[in-house]
Amino acid sequence: MKTLRVRIVGGSVGGLFAAALLRREGHDVRLYERSSGGLAGRGAGLVGQRDLFALLRAVGCEHVAQVGVVAHERIFLDRAGEIRQRQATPQMQISWDHLYATMRSKVPDDSYVLGRAVLAVEQDGATATLQFDDGSREEADLVIGADGLGSIVRCAVVGRHAANEYAGYVAWRGLVPERELPAESAILLDRFAFFDMPQSHTLGYLVTGPAAETAVGQRRYNWVWYRRVAAAELPALLTDAKGRHHPHSLAPGQVPETVAARLRQDAADRLPPPFAAAIAAEPRPFLQAIFDYEVPAMTRGRVALLGDAAFVVRPHTAMGVAKAAGDAMALVRQLSNHRDVETALQAYNEERHPAGAAIAAYGRRLGAMLE
């Protein structure tokens, strides 16, 4: 295929995957990220999957998969904090921050534009056009929506507002520096730990430090507490300390202190002491509401979706990053296999739509324990 002007909306790892692969094929690629400060430091750990390993090989970055922290076993706690079951299933949590930094280095600064919000995408038979919040426009041969669960680009594919469906529960999260983890939480270190109770699921594991540190004492403990929240209560819960409402999540520092204090008290009342202590050690817990979404088609004309812009899958799958990698590789492969963009995108949709639907269904099955 001839050299294409490709514009990618969304600057996280999914957009970077596509940008790196397309640049290797010689295409003119520019990526737009609406945040002005970039996305470094926003991740924790991720589970390596086949598609992620394949993508890293394709861009010459296999070493990224070796930077992480190994959980040597899985333990399941009872309410008193004693180990009631253990499984010898070692697993590495790859550093999201190191993955992001490595992929970001594959895209030149003048091709990665921060603080540029896309409001809409239009298209005719020959081009697709980005409309920016400053009133400017830019034409492209292909637009890729890698802009996550709040995707703007979706509308150009499905032809209407495409809202996510709330799953009925949220994930409270924290990242505690290992050196600040209380002594009563020591049982959690170097393990995947779990605790289940009706309509609630708690887990935690070590991840690298913010600069991919792996030495003992420089790592962080990542805890997650899934809890049921009625849909009617969600807007209030997603209101930050300044009274502003957020549609999907609250970042560290945005949760009102009264809400954070109630979370810590609930943990002390309901969770095993090691988990309660880890939650109490997090001064800035953050919140993620859990949603589902499945796009009826991943492409239309000269616009394609990948990652969570197409299928929002529940975090229990641990497959979000791998799904984005699989999407990016399939898209670039189909562009190489076909002479025109529209035919390539149709083939991409036929290949990846069933895969995304299967992962979404798997996530709903895993989340059923909370419903």
Measure CA of the first residue to CA of the last residue in the chain; give whole Å: 48
> What local confidence, expressed as pLDDT, does residue 209 receive?
93
Say yes or no: do domains 5-46+97-164+293-370 and 66-95+165-290 share a fold: no
Whether the Cβ atoms of residue 151 and residue 312 lie closer than 8 Å to each other = no
User: DSSP string covering 122-179, please?
Assistant: EE-SS-EEEEETTS-EEEESEEEE--GGG-STHHHHHSS----EEEEEEEEEEEEEGG
pLDDT-based confidence at residue 151 (cuts at 50, 70, 90): very high
pLDDT-based confidence at residue 80 (cuts at 50, 70, 90): very high
Query: How much is the average pLDDT of 258-287?
Result: 98
Q: Where are the domains of the chain?
A: 5-46+97-164+293-370, 66-95+165-290
Whether residue 192 has pLDDT greater than 70:
yes
Residue 261 token pair: 């204090």
Higher pLDDT, 210 or 36: 210
Residue 80 token pair: 């008193």
Least confident range of 80-84, 114-118, 234-238: 114-118
> What local confidence, expressed as pLDDT, does residue 41 receive?
60
> What local confidence, expressed as pLDDT, does residue 177 receive?
96
> What local confidence, expressed as pLDDT, does residue 110 receive?
94
Separation of alpha carbons 228 and 367, rounded Å: 11
Q: Read off the pTM.
A: 0.93
> What local confidence, expressed as pLDDT, does residue 1 receive?
62
Q: Which fold has domain 5-46+97-164+293-370?
A: FAD/NAD(P)-binding domain (3.50.50)
pLDDT digits (tens, 9 = 90+) for 46-74: 888 899 999 999 999 999 999 999 999 99
Q: How far is CA 248 from the centre of its chain?
A: 13
> What local confidence, expressed as pLDDT, does residue 83 receive?
96
pLDDT digits (tens, 9 = 90+) for 102-117: 999 999 999 999 999 9
Residue 136 token pair: 């400017």
pLDDT-based confidence at residue 370 (cuts at 50, 70, 90): confident
Query: How much is the average pLDDT of 302-307?
Result: 97
Torsional class of 38: left (φ above 0), alpha (ψ -120 to 50), beta (otherwise): left
- B/e letters for 306-335, b = 16+ CB within 10 Å, e = fewer, are bbbbbbbbbbbbbbbbbbbbbbbbbbbbbb
Whether the Cβ atoms of residue 186 and residue 206 lie closer than 8 Å to each other = no
Question: Coil, helix or strand for 253?
Answer: coil
> What local confidence, expressed as pLDDT, does residue 39 receive?
67
CATH number for the domain running over 66-95+165-290? 3.30.9.60
